[in-house]
Amino acid sequence: MKPSVRPEVSKGNQAVSGEWPLWEVFVRSKAGLDHKHCGSLHAPDAKAAIQLARDVYTRRQEGTSIWVVKSDQITASDPGDKDMYFDPMADKVYRHPTFYELPESVNHM
Amino acid sequence: MYTQAMDTAPKEERSSLEDAALQQRFDARIDAGDFIEAKDWMPEHYRKTLVRQISQHAHSEIVGMLPEGNWITRAPTLKRKAILLAKVQDEGGHGLYLYAAAETLGTSRDQMIGALHSGKAKYSSIFNYPTLAWADVGVIGWLVDGAAIMNQVPLCRCSYAPYARAMVRVCREESFHQRQGFDALYVMMTQGTPAQRAMVQGAVNRWWWPSLMMFGPPDAESPNSAQSMRWGIKRNSNDELRQKFVDACVDQAKVLGVTLPDPELKWNEQRGHHDFGAIDWAEFWRVVGGDGPCNRERLAARVGAWEEGAWVREAAMAHERKRALKEKAA
C-alpha cells in the first residue's frame, strides 16, 4: 500500500482556495525532553509558523523549543497496514528484560 | 469554549453491502471504547456529524471572542484588562485547535469559514446576546463558561481522537475562564457599592436562562442524541448535563450572594436535585434561527474581519513565493 501523506489530514484544496499551507507543530516541553507533536496550524511561511505556534500552543509556558514542518512533507504508515506492521512483535516477549527469570541474588541485573 | 447540542443531523445513509463488514468492525471498536483516528474507516454519517459538531464548536469559540472583546478597552483595572485579553486570546486559540481537528476529517478551513459566513453553519446561540455591562463579562465566565465546561469535559473522551485531544487542551485552559469570572463577580459583591451589586444581579438575570439553553433542546426533542451517544461522540444527555449545571450553580450563587431568576427553583428531596422552571424554547429556536438580539452584528463583525484581512493573507503568501524564488535562484 502506498504511504499516506500526513497521518491526520488529507491535502484538501489548498492550491485552489489560496489557503495558507498547513504545518505540524512539535513542542519540547522542557530541556532534556523530546519534541512532541501537539497540533497543526496554517501559516504562510516557516518563520510565521513558528511565531503562530508560539501563540497558539505555548500560551502558558508549555514549551522551550518549537519545530514546525509542512504537513505535506510528512510520510506516515498506513493505518490499514497496522496489523501487518506491528503484530509480529506481539509474540517476541524475549525482547523484554522481564522475560528472563534469574536467581534472586542477581535478579536486579 | 462553547458547544451546543443542536441535533440537526441528517438521517443515517444506508451502507452498501461492501461497507457492511467495515461498519461491523467500526461498531466493534466503538463498543470496545477504542479511539478512531483520522485515517481510519468511518461511516459517512459519523464523519458528517463530527464535521458539523467540531466546526460549530470552533465557530462558537471565534464568535465568542466578540461579546467579551467588547469590554477589553473598558475593563475597570489594568489587572482585569490583562485577564480579559488572556481569556479572549484563549478563545481564539480554542477555535484554532478545533478547526485543525475538523480539518483532519477532510474539510478545509476555508470551507468551514465560508459556511459560517454564509449562515449555513451555526454557532452557540449564547453569543447572540449583548454584553451590556462590565458584570456581563464576569457572568459569562461564571455561567457561560461553567455550562461550557459541563458540556466539554465529557468530550475529552469522545471516540474521535483528534477532537478528544483538542478538548483535553481546551478543558485544561477553561477552568481559568470560569474562575476569573467568579472572582470578578465576588469582588464586586463583597467589596462593591450597592450599584455594583445591582449590576451583577442584573447580569445574572439576563444570562441565566440563555445559559441553561446552552445544553440544547430537551432529551425528548433531541432525536439524534441516541446516535451520537451510540458513537461515543456524546457521553451525557442534554437534560442530564443541564441538571448537573443547575445543581452546581445554586450553591455558587449563594456564595456570591445573588439570586437566580427562577421562582420555581427549589430543592427536590425525592429526586436529589433542584427542580427548575420551564425554559422558553421558542426564544432558543428564534435565536438559533437568526433572530436574536445580536445575530446580524456578530456575523457582520466576522465577515468584516475576514474581508478586511484578505489583503494581509494574500500579501503574506506573495512574500513567501518571492522568498522561495530568490532561494531557488541563489
**Is a pLDDT exceeding 60 seen at residue A14?**
no
Residue type, B173: E
Collapse the DSSP code of A79 into the 3-class scheme (helix H, G, I; strand E, B; otherwise coil) and give the result.
helix
pLDDT (0 to 100) of residue B20: 87
Which segments of chain B have a pLDDT < 70?
A: 1-18
Of B86, B89, B100, the CB nearest to A40: B100
Chain B nearest C-alpha distance from A92 (Å): 24
Residue carrying the nine cell digits 501523506 = A5
Q: Shortest CA distance to B127 belongs to which of B190, B59, B193?
A: B59
Across A44-60, average pLDDT: 96
Please tell me the distance from the alpha carbon of residue B174 to that of residue B145, in angstroms, as a whole number.
7
Chain B nearest C-alpha distance from A2 (Å): 13
B169 chain-A contacts, CB cut-off 8 A: 39
Q: Shortest CA distance to B302 belongs to which of B1, B55, B66, B53?
A: B66
Residue A18 and residue B317: Cβ atoms within 8 Å? yes
pLDDT, chain B, mean: 93
B316 chain-A contacts, CB cut-off 8 A: 20, 44-45, 48
What is the value of ipTM here, to two decimals? 0.86
Q: Which of residues 26-85 of B touch A (CB under 8 A)?
A: 37-40
**Is a pLDDT exceeding 50 seen at residue A1?**
no
Nearest CA in chain A to B161: A8
Collapse the DSSP code of A39 into the 3-class scheme (helix H, G, I; strand E, B; otherwise coil) and give the result.
strand
pLDDT (0 to 100) of residue B68: 97
pLDDT (0 to 100) of residue B13: 52
Nearest CA in chain B to A46: B320
Residue carrying the nine cell digits 491526520 = A8
pLDDT (0 to 100) of residue B292: 95
- What would the 3-class secondary structure string for A9-24 be? CCCCCHHHHCCCCEEE
Of B40, B104, B166, the CB nearest to A9: B104
Please tell me the distance from the alpha carbon of residue B69 to that of residue B90, in angstroms, as a whole number.
12
Please tell me the distance from the alpha carbon of residue A72 to that of residue A83, in angstroms, as a whole number.
25
B323 chain-A contacts, CB cut-off 8 A: 45
Chain B nearest C-alpha distance from A63 (Å): 14
Residues in chain B: 330
**Phi, psi dihedrals of residue B99, rounded to the nearest 5°:** -60, -45
Nearest CA in chain A to B87: A59
Higher per-residue confidence, A71 vs B14: A71
A9 chain-B contacts, CB cut-off 8 A: 38, 103-104, 106
B89 chain-A contacts, CB cut-off 8 A: 55, 59
**Domain map of chain A by residue range?**
13-95
Of B93, B103, B317, the CB nearest to A20: B317
Whether B90 has its CB under 8 Å from any CB of chain A: the answer is yes
**Phi, psi dihedrals of residue A59, rounded to the nearest 5°:** -75, -15
pLDDT, chain A, mean: 85
Please tell me the distance from the alpha carbon of residue B215 to that of residue B217, in angstroms, as a whole number.
7
A13 chain-B contacts, CB cut-off 8 A: 108
Residue B108 and residue A10: Cβ atoms within 8 Å? no
pLDDT (0 to 100) of residue B194: 98
Q: What angle do CA B159, B162, B167 make, to 5 degrees?
A: 85
pLDDT tens for each residue of A87-97: 888 889 999 99
pLDDT tens for each residue of B20-53: 888 999 999 999 999 999 989 999 999 999 999 9
Does the A13-95 domain belong in CATH 3.10.20.520? yes
| In contact, B131 and B67? CB cutoff 8 Å | yes
Please tell me the distance from the alpha carbon of residue B127 to that of residue B185, in angstroms, as a whole number.
20
Set of cell numbers at residue B326: 530568490
B86 chain-A contacts, CB cut-off 8 A: 59
Give the largest Cα separation in chain A, rounded. 69
DSSP B77: S
Q: Shortest CA distance to B55 belongs to which of B138, B166, B132?
A: B166
| In contact, B216 and B245? CB cutoff 8 Å | no
Q: Kindly indicate the confidence band of residue A17, based on its pLDDT and cuts at 50, 70 and 90.
A: low
Residue A60 and residue B173: Cβ atoms within 8 Å? yes
Collect all residues with Cβ–Cβ distance below 8 Å to A17 and sequence separation of at least 6.
Answer: B108, B110
Residue pairs between chains A and B whose CB atoms are closer than 8 Å = 68
Whether B166 has its CB under 8 Å from any CB of chain A: the answer is yes
Collapse the DSSP code of B17 into the 3-class scheme (helix H, G, I; strand E, B; otherwise coil) and give the result.
helix
Whether B275 has its CB under 8 Å from any CB of chain A: the answer is no
Residue carrying the nine cell digits 483532519 = B104
Across A26-54, average pLDDT: 96
pLDDT (0 to 100) of residue A79: 80
Q: Kindly indicate the confidence band of residue A74, based on its pLDDT and cuts at 50, 70 and 90.
A: very high
